[in-house]
Amino acid sequence: MTSHNQGYNALCHHLPVLKGIARGIEKEGLRVTPEGTLALTPHPESLGSALTHPHITTDYSEALLELITDTHDSTESLIAELEQTHRFVAQALGDELIWNQSMPAQLPPEADIPIAWYGTSNTGMLKHVYRRGLAERYGKSMQCIAGVHYNFSVPEPFWELIGIQGDGVQRRSRGYMALIRNFTRYSWLLMYLFGGAPAISKSFLKTPSVKLETLDDNTLYLPYATSLRMSDLGYKGNKAQSELQLCYNDLETFLERMYNAVTTPWPDYEAIGTHRNGEWIQLNTNIIQIENEYYSSIRPKRTTGRCERPARALAERGVQYIEVRCLDIDPYSPTGISVDTSRFMDAFLLFCAVEDSAYFSNNGFCLHSQSNFARVVKEGRKPDLMLNNEGTPIALAEWSKHLLDRIAPYAELLDSAYGGTLYAAAVSAQAKKVANSELTPSARLLQDLRDSKLSLHDFTLQQSKAHRDTLCAQPLDAAVMQAYQQMASDSFAEQQRLKADDTEDFSSYVARYHAALQGCQSGVSS
């Protein structure tokens, strides 16, 4: 099994560069009560400050934990750190649990779902008001959907080796944008292989926009769905979001369209306004308040400083890494993602980076890719399902096998660089799911619900308790426990420092934050 493109052949002769690949994970998970209802308690003090802790924070809701790893040079150390943080959190939560499913637990009335709180510093209030805006725009239940984000970067020499043209920042950004285009073409495959949300609790769906079937008195589903989280039940059902079409042909056009989205008013949001009863309820009335509101399966990313806009950072310093956002929580893993999935992601993203990646026509937007993705999340396991490969109909099973055959050589490259055969084994494991859709996480979950005669809620609660017991069975080493406790203490001190350093009122801070966008639409520094 070989690949014959120039980039692949160059990597064959420069294997050490592959050991410079870095990967990281941001894993979300709801805090719930022992009964599986949403925890209404504040973010636990034992976990530190959600604003400043480097590894334990919250996402949209106060109850939605987000556990963040460092970047790692191996999948083994990556998952080991994620497991270690899960063990610390599981032991610190007392009776509460981490909900091990992307779709939420039993939720209280919308008004009672707590929005994440980060203190009264300008930085903390910006994050909180942004989330108030999300509640106004999408509803609070949306804030309780969880997933796994996979961050991936390659070392600087990689792009020159595989033949990306340009100098420095320009070459790197072109390389990552090419990776994103290929990811956009093929990300439906990830939803088939790893989608773990084919069902939802009835209580989550107040006004069905999608015709779902009834599995039991408390559970709705689609028989061939892989991920209802990534369907139009989620952010993709929002009109402002669905009409926003960014371009991945080049970073300059991407930033120009992002700039337009964060500066162009949207009538429905103008009707809401930015204040109610004298309090901020959203940062602005534009199509999206800030760049992070754009709901996409993948993002070009760059670390930012305080009050620095992501678009401005990308414009000035180029793309640093990519963030994959479409992975569901694996209901069968205590950490929400397995080491085998991480290995496959490395091979898949390496394939996306190296293989030829033509520009998208149609104003830089790939309609076929969007349609394929939407079809797979709602009916990916349907027998003989047909997709669209650049205008040519093709069976999902046939295309999946073809893609795995193309990804396999990249797994072998990684094995040659790291030693062993674990990457090849991870790709082979996915081939079994293509041959038999009953082996996919979505099919397994539906079968387990039928066999156990449990609702999605009761089954997930059972799984979450089992995972908690597994994580707590082996106490953390005393030195490791002390390190986590010290991080929590230090994070509170840092939060106080940020508050003490504020020299302007919040309205002025918001104005300065918006003004920081100026110039970012004009392109990337060389």
The confidence score (pLDDT) of residue 368 equals 87
* Residues 374 and 259: beta-carbon distance below 8 Å: no
* 526 pLDDT above the threshold of 50: no
> Rounded distance, CA 226 to CA 199, Å?
9
Look over the chain and give the mean of its residue pLDDT values, rounded to a whole number.
93
> Rounded distance, CA 320 to CA 297, Å?
17
* Residues 342 and 75: beta-carbon distance below 8 Å: yes
CATH (one of 3.30.590.20, 3.40.50.460, 3.30.420.10, 3.40.630.10) for 6-260+296-522: 3.30.590.20
pLDDT tens-digit profile of 431-468? 999 999 999 999 999 999 999 999 999 999 999 999 99
Instruction: List CB contacts of 195: < 8 A, sequence separation 6 or more.
Output: 225, 226, 227, 230, 328, 376, 377, 380, 440, 441, 442
pLDDT tens-digit profile of 395-406? 999 999 999 999
Above pLDDT 90, what percent of the chain?
87
* 116 pLDDT above the threshold of 80: yes
pLDDT tens-digit profile of 284-321? 999 999 999 998 999 999 999 877 899 999 999 999 99
66, 473, 479, 148: which is closest to 333 by C-alpha?
Answer: 148
pLDDT tens-digit profile of 345-394? 999 999 999 999 999 987 666 778 999 999 999 999 999 999 999 889 99
Which residues of 62-115 form beta strands (DSSP E)?
64-68, 97-98
C-alpha distances out from residue 522 to 251, 256, 291, 365, 408, Å: 10, 7, 16, 20, 40
C-alpha distances out from residue 21 to 73, 406, 501, Å: 6, 20, 37
Q: Taking each helix axis from N to C terminus, what angle separates 339-354 and 422-435, rounded to the nearest 10 degrees? A: 90
DSSP-derived pairing of the beta strands 213-216 and 199-201: unpaired
Which two three-digit tokens encode residue 319?
């793309």
* 519 pLDDT above the threshold of 80: no
Which two three-digit tokens encode residue 4?
């014959």
* 3 pLDDT above the threshold of 50: no
The confidence score (pLDDT) of residue 69 equals 98
Collapsing DSSP to helix, strand or coil, 386 comes out as: strand
pLDDT tens-digit profile of 415-434? 999 999 999 999 999 999 99
- The pLDDT-based confidence of 142 (bands split at 50, 70, 90) is confident
